[in-house]
Amino acid sequence: MTAIRWLSLAALAAAVGCSGGAGRSAGPSAGAEEARSALFAALDAWKKGQPKALSDRDPPVRFVDDDFAAGMRLTGYAIQEPDRPIAPDEDIPVTLSLRDARGKSIRRVAAYRVSTSPAPTVERSGR
């Protein structure tokens, strides 16, 4: 048996045999819900001006965005495909309404990549 085939079978067995902890179902829908929660938590914290709320979550959410780091204020956002599942490690396009330090309004489309393992991370992608 080739190493790749053996690893595939081992991964499948682990996914089927391990149901995860305290009532959480393992699988795509569990990862999608965790990714959705992390993305909305990050954007809502930015919009409210409360980034500390992300580190107070259990588990904490790491948020990386150049506009956020530059001090831009998020005044609104819209997920471009709101009915699409937010799968981990995929680019999620979001329309951002921003305000710079001088009060100038800026609207732009950004893409965020959300990872759920080992910890929730929401990171602006290069897209």
Region 33-52: mean pLDDT is 95
Residue 30 has pLDDT above 60, yes or no: yes
Q: What is the residue extent of each domain of the chain?
A: 28-124
Task: Note the pLDDT of residue 57.
Answer: 93
Which DSSP category does 25 fall into? P
Token pair, residue 93, equals: 């396009």
How many other C-beta atoms can be found within 10 angstroms of the C-beta atom of residue 122? Answer: 24
Region 74-92: mean pLDDT is 92
Dihedral of alpha carbons 6, 8, 13, 18, sign:
positive
pLDDT band at 14 (very low <50, low <70, confident <90, very high): very low
